[in-house]
Amino acid sequence: MKIGLVGFAGSGKTTVFNAMTGLGVPVGFGGELRLGTVRVPDARLDALSAHYSPRRTTHAEIRFCDIPGEYGAARKGLSPRGLQQIREQEALCLVLRDFENPALGEPPDPGGELAAFETECLLADLDIVERRLDRALKEGADPVELAAFERARDTLERERPLRTVPPGELGRAPFRGYGLLTDRPLLVLLNRSEARAEEALPSELAARLAAVGAAGLALSAPVEAEIADLEPEDRAAFVEALGLREPALARFIRKAYELLDLISFFTVAGPEVRAWTIRRGTRAKRAAGRVHSDMERGFIRAEVIPYETFASHGSEQAVREAGLLRVEGKDYVVADGDILHIRFNV
Ligand SMILES: Nc1nc2c(ncn2[C@@H]2O[C@H](COP(=O)(O)OP(=O)(O)O)[C@@H](O)[C@H]2O)c(=O)[nH]1
Ligand SMILES: [Mg+2]
């Protein structure tokens, strides 16, 4: 599961990627496609770790892909290679430039970049959908699949991204493997100059994002890079001095995680406190398999303490004494923040 950083050259993709991954990829135009693993910040995990003092604390992780900014260097659009790289991503983060970049010689135009990217994706999808329908005309097709592609064509022709059609109205299964870009979850990152790091997303842009079914966030990449560079013990003071509650990058990473429809459950086992990643809607037996295949195979039950219950009672013991420890079977749908003890037998 990976999320692709996309956008115009010079919008700050690599700067954001470096701040998240600590990989130190050279900034500037061009470059290679890079893949990096990013820890998902989670205050609940930090609190569990402080409570249990385990030898090891393991965060959930997601992967980001820094896709080189050949795209739109001269606003000429995506190359076939660029398109292919973007199609391979499960979700997209579009970085928009909202700072003066002397190397580009053009004032920032984030709204224009968003529109250009959207148009590009709409046209690329329409091309795929029309080809599929042409082939169906010649060779015939499954009616359900045909209906889905016809609905997709109508949507795209009205310049609506596919993600704006609710899942109940349009089954996505026929689209699998076609790499449709407007169906991908989209998170838009407005990359601000340092001086304006604190400003909220302009309401016009926010409205535009809502209309295309995208999430949005503003931050200043160099400020975030500076924070990421600090020693952990200096970070909090610096963030506070900037008047922030936490680095915006932390919020961004969590939003990306949500965008992929991922949630975390926790385990506390002797030396390790750990966050595990599952898709929202995953059942307990399956979730147990994330920890160990034996736990899935020999699953008996899960003892569940929602993180909030743990936090309000202060300890596992107190939760037990209050009679709030829940025992759930294999079909229990695991919730974000559940602390699980899996009972199993192999
Ligand atoms: N002033 C300012 N410069 C930035 C910001 N983000 C990136 N840059 C600079 O813009 C240039 C291009 O950034 P880079 O991350 O390579 O963009 P990419 O082409 O999208 O990967 C670099 O010189 C960065 O240091 C920002 O928020 N503010
Ligand atoms: Mg780059």
Residue 242 clears pLDDT 80, i.e. is over it: no
Quote the CA–CA distance of 170 and 180 in Å, as a whole number: 14
Domain shared by 285 and 207, yes or no: no
Domain shared by 287 and 255, yes or no: no
Q: How confident is the model at residue 77 (pLDDT cuts 50, 70, 90)?
A: low
Q: Could you list the residue range(s) of the whole structural domain that residue 27 is in? A: 1-42+59-261
For residue 108, the CA-to-ligand 2 centroid distance in Å is: 17
Q: Mean per-residue pLDDT for 325-329?
A: 97
Domain shared by 247 and 294, yes or no: no
Which pair of structure tokens corresponds to residue 119?
A: 């148009």
| Angle made by CA atoms 49, 51, 57, in degrees to the nearest 5 | 15
305 domain-assigned = yes
Domain shared by 300 and 202, yes or no: no
pLDDT at 73: 45
Q: Mean per-residue pLDDT for 102-116?
A: 89
Q: Total domain count for the chain?
A: 2
Q: Mean per-residue pLDDT for 22-49?
A: 89
Quote the CA–CA distance of 70 and 76 in Å, as a whole number: 10
pLDDT at 79: 75
Residues in the chain: 346
For residue 101, the CA-to-ligand 2 centroid distance in Å is: 14
Residue nearest to atom 11 of ligand 1 (CA): 10
Is the beta carbon of 221 within 6 A of some atom in ligand 1? yes
Quote the CA–CA distance of 152 and 167 in Å, as a whole number: 12
Is the beta carbon of 110 within 6 A of some atom in ligand 1? no
- The answer to whether 203 and 229 are in contact (CB under 8 A) is no
203 domain-assigned = yes
Is the beta carbon of 14 within 6 A of some atom in ligand 1? yes
pLDDT at 135: 94
Residue 71 clears pLDDT 60, i.e. is over it: no
Quote the CA–CA distance of 99 and 11 in Å, as a whole number: 8
268 domain-assigned = no
Domain shared by 307 and 245, yes or no: no
53 domain-assigned = no
The pTM score is: 0.91
Residue 321 clears pLDDT 90, i.e. is over it: yes
Residue 256 clears pLDDT 50, i.e. is over it: yes
269 domain-assigned = no
Pocket test for ligand 1, best of 6, 13, 27, 249 (most atoms within 8 A of CB): 27
* Ligand nearest to C-alpha 194: 1
Domain shared by 308 and 208, yes or no: no
- Determine phi and psi for 120, rounding to 5 degrees: -55, -45
Domain shared by 228 and 330, yes or no: no
3-state secondary structure of 236: helix
**148 vs 199, residue with greater confidence:** 148
Q: Which of 229, 154, 313, 253 is nearest to 239 (CA)?
A: 229
Quote the CA–CA distance of 240 and 219 in Å, as a whole number: 16
Cβ partners under 8 Å of residue 11, min gap 6: 69, 95, 96, 97, 113, 191
Q: How confident is the model at residue 72 (pLDDT cuts 50, 70, 90)?
A: very low
3-state secondary structure of 137: helix
Q: For 112-160, how does the pLDDT look when each residue is reduced to its tens digit (9 = 90+)?
A: 999 999 999 999 999 999 999 999 989 988 999 999 999 999 999 999 9
Domain shared by 5 and 38, yes or no: yes
For the ranges 65-74, 156-165, 222-231, 308-317, the lowest mean pLDDT is seen at: 65-74
271 domain-assigned = no
Query: What ligand 1 atom has the least distance to the C-alpha of 66?
Result: 21
Q: How confident is the model at residue 69 (pLDDT cuts 50, 70, 90)?
A: low
How far is residue 104 from each of residues 6, 7, 246, measured CA to CA in Å?
17, 14, 31
Q: Mean per-residue pLDDT for 87-112?
A: 91
Is the beta carbon of 252 within 6 A of some atom in ligand 1? no
Quote the CA–CA distance of 35 and 2 in Å, as a whole number: 9
Kindly report the CATH number assigned to the domain that includes residue 326: 3.10.20.30
**104 vs 164, residue with greater confidence:** 164
- The answer to whether 4 and 181 are in contact (CB under 8 A) is no
Task: Choose one of 261, 289, 310: the last residue of a domain.
Answer: 261
| Angle made by CA atoms 311, 313, 315, in degrees to the nearest 5 | 80
Strand positions, DSSP E, 193-323: 215-219, 262-269, 272-279, 299-306
Q: How far is CA 282 from the centre of its chain?
A: 18
Which amino acid is located at 147 in the chain? A
Tokens 């926790």 sit at which residue? 266
Is the beta carbon of 222 within 6 A of some atom in ligand 1? yes
Kindly report the CATH number assigned to the domain that includes residue 250: 3.40.50.300
Q: Mean per-residue pLDDT for 268-282?
A: 95
Quote the CA–CA distance of 173 and 176 in Å, as a whole number: 6
Cβ partners under 8 Å of residue 280, min gap 6: 261, 262, 263, 336
